[in-house]
Amino acid sequence: MSLDLLRKRHSILTKGLLIVIAVTFVIGFGFSYENFGFGGGVSQGTVADVNGEKISITDFYRARDNLYRQYGQQGDVPEALSEFIEVSALNQLIDLKLLSQKARELGFRISDEELGESIRSNPAFQVNGQFIGREAYKTLVEQSTNQSTGQFEKRYREGLLAQRLIDFINKTVKVTDDELYNLLRMQNEKVNLYFVAFSPDSFSDSISPTRGEIESYYEKHKSEFKIPELRSIKYITLSQAFFESRVNVSDEEIEAYYRAYQDEFKTEEQETLPLSEVGENIVDKVKKQRGEYLRDDFLDKLDDTYLERPLDEISNENGVEKINESKAFSVDENVEGIPLQVRKRAFSLSEGEKNNILAGNTIWIIELSELIPSHHKELSESEDEILDKVKFSKAKDEARLKSEELLEELNKDGKDIIEIAKSKGLEVEETGFFNRLGNVPKINSPDLKLDVLSLKEESPLGSEVYVSGDNFYIVSLKEIQEVDPNELEEKKADLRETEISQRRTSLLQNWLQKLRNGAKIIANESVLSQQG
């Protein structure tokens, strides 16, 4: 095989092999500076020190650049990803180092024969399924990685050591048929629940707060009863139609436009429409163009001196018949007819100050006419609002109390929820069938979602009062729609593969976390702040 052909194969190596082969299977610990410390003891040319073993800046740049290539396959890498990519590359190399160190500690070794066989069987060093030969391999490694084969093979061996440990970890993961059946049941079994809901609305009508309770609530929550700063404005508007109305178009101009832009007036059959049919259209076009020019020219001439003049004088000068005035509004309030940017600008003005804003195609000239400072409401101003809040708070407490009493009675007597609820005049509803792993219909409670997994026919009652929004729920299992055991045989292989994969990933993460917790990792902060 020629050296030119070898050069064409460099892209295979840049996709991951020469970073350090283990990067393809080491999962990394995510984007975080917290997984390693910064400080002294990191020599020049080193990006990190892991338990006394160095990670070279060269290896870091290879890992980082490979990630850039991966993320950039669909286009340029956003600048915001740069820090994520740099830390991810360093984390991958640290994970590799930790795993290879632990492998050596446990007695794993990679012999020269194993190393050689792995390299010879690697597709990156083969053509038509055959090893490319020692000299071609040496040339490819040196030209692709800018390192000797000895340096490359040292890192390759480290990757194989890490993989040996990962293989060992993976072999410890087992999934029994019983576990698979339980997983299948959880994923496919459906349940239907009885529930009794207790809402504050059911109790509020019977609650009459005392004067003392209202006053006490006001004193404790004074900050809630506050009128925000309000502002009102006077304004005139100069719309696009206003400027267009100032444009007069002569017959000569209409004819000149018609002659100059005849392509605009051709039919599908390329016949030119007569001027009599398109004259009004030409007038509209000319008025629009000149109206935009007049509007822009007006804006260019606006200055502080002009805006110091009285608003009625500006209005009269421009032929605006009416000066409008808004109601008092807060900064977040939506005021019909007044755009958001106009309202926001009002809150940057002093009382009596004017400003202009272009909102869409309309010029707004505004004057802040009144500023009402923020202030706390007096009790007399807030009494109706406080009354509603106190009633709701007490009604909510009552709903919680009644739900707790029902749960206690169900636990004590062991009676059916239907029987007890009926005796108390309470309505029992049903959720309808749903997957045990899904959200509970009609009751959006995270705690209940977890407890649904453990509800059984012999112990159907939910363990607590479940809260969703302002409502409280007591639940009991009504019925189970069981899984056909034959489904297990049909889905066993795929389910086992998925579950083993998830468990292996989780186990490897736990190993890496423990290795990091017991390791001394020092990173070279100055390298991470560079772009290499």
Is beta strand 362-372 parallel, antiparallel or unpaired with respect to 354-359?
Answer: antiparallel
Domain match, 155 and 97 both: yes
Long-range contact pairs involving 245-253 (C-beta distance under 8 Å, separation at least 24): 246/291, 246/294, 247/286, 247/287, 247/290, 247/291, 247/294, 249/282, 249/283, 249/286, 249/287, 253/286
Tell if the pTM clears 0.85, that is, is over it.
no
Last residue of a domain, one of 315, 343, 375: 375
Last residue of a domain, one of 375, 406, 435: 375
Domain match, 369 and 231 both: yes
Tokens of 439: 């959200």
pLDDT at 82: 78
Domain match, 233 and 364 both: yes
pLDDT at 298: 87
Nearest-angstrom CA–CA distance, 242 and 321 = 12
Domain match, 319 and 235 both: yes
Q: Give the structural domain span for 203.
A: 190-209+389-481
Q: Are 89 and 60 in contact (CB under 8 A)?
A: yes
- Residue 456 covered by a domain: yes
3-state helix, strand, coil in the chain (%, to 5): 55, 15, 30
- Residue 182 covered by a domain: no
Closest to 30 in 3D by CA, of 117, 90, 116, 110: 90
Domain match, 332 and 429 both: no
Last residue of a domain, one of 347, 375, 403: 375
Give the chain's domain count: 3
- Residue 501 covered by a domain: no
Nearest-angstrom CA–CA distance, 141 and 114 = 19
Domain match, 266 and 156 both: no
Question: pLDDT tens per residue, the chain (532 residues)?
Answer: 444 444 444 444 444 344 344 434 444 444 444 455 545 556 668 899 999 999 988 888 888 888 888 877 555 667 667 778 888 889 999 999 999 999 999 999 999 999 999 999 998 899 998 999 999 999 888 888 778 899 899 989 999 999 999 999 999 999 998 888 888 877 888 999 999 999 999 998 889 999 999 999 999 988 888 889 999 999 999 988 999 998 998 999 888 888 888 888 888 888 888 988 888 999 999 999 898 888 888 888 888 788 889 999 999 988 888 899 999 999 989 999 999 999 999 999 999 999 999 888 899 999 999 999 998 888 888 888 999 999 999 999 999 999 999 999 999 877 789 999 999 999 999 999 999 888 999 998 999 999 998 899 999 999 999 999 999 999 999 999 888 778 778 888 888 999 999 999 999 999 999 999 999 999 887 766 554 4
Q: How many helices (DSSP H) and strands (DSSP E) are in the chain? A: 20, 17
Domain match, 369 and 396 both: no
Domain match, 13 and 158 both: yes
Q: Is 97 exposed, middle or buried (0-12, 13-18, 19+ CB in 10 A)?
A: buried
- Residue 489 covered by a domain: no
Nearest-angstrom CA–CA distance, 39 and 45 = 15
Look at residue 36 and give its three-state secondary structure. Answer: coil
pLDDT at 53: 93
pLDDT at 70: 80
- Residue 382 covered by a domain: no
Domain match, 334 and 453 both: no
Domain match, 273 and 418 both: no
| CA distance readout (Å), 31 to 34, 83, 85, 515 | 9, 9, 8, 17
Look at residue 379 and give its three-state secondary structure. Answer: helix
- Residue 369 covered by a domain: yes
pLDDT at 2: 44
- Residue 302 covered by a domain: yes
- Residue 493 covered by a domain: no
Instruction: Report the CATH number that the domain containing residue 27 is assigned in CATH.
Output: 1.10.4030.10
Domain match, 163 and 20 both: yes
In this structure, how many other beta carbons lie within 10 angstroms of the beta carbon of residue 403?
A: 21
Domain match, 160 and 200 both: no
Residue 528 CB partners (closer than 8 Å, separation 6+): 47, 83, 86, 87, 90
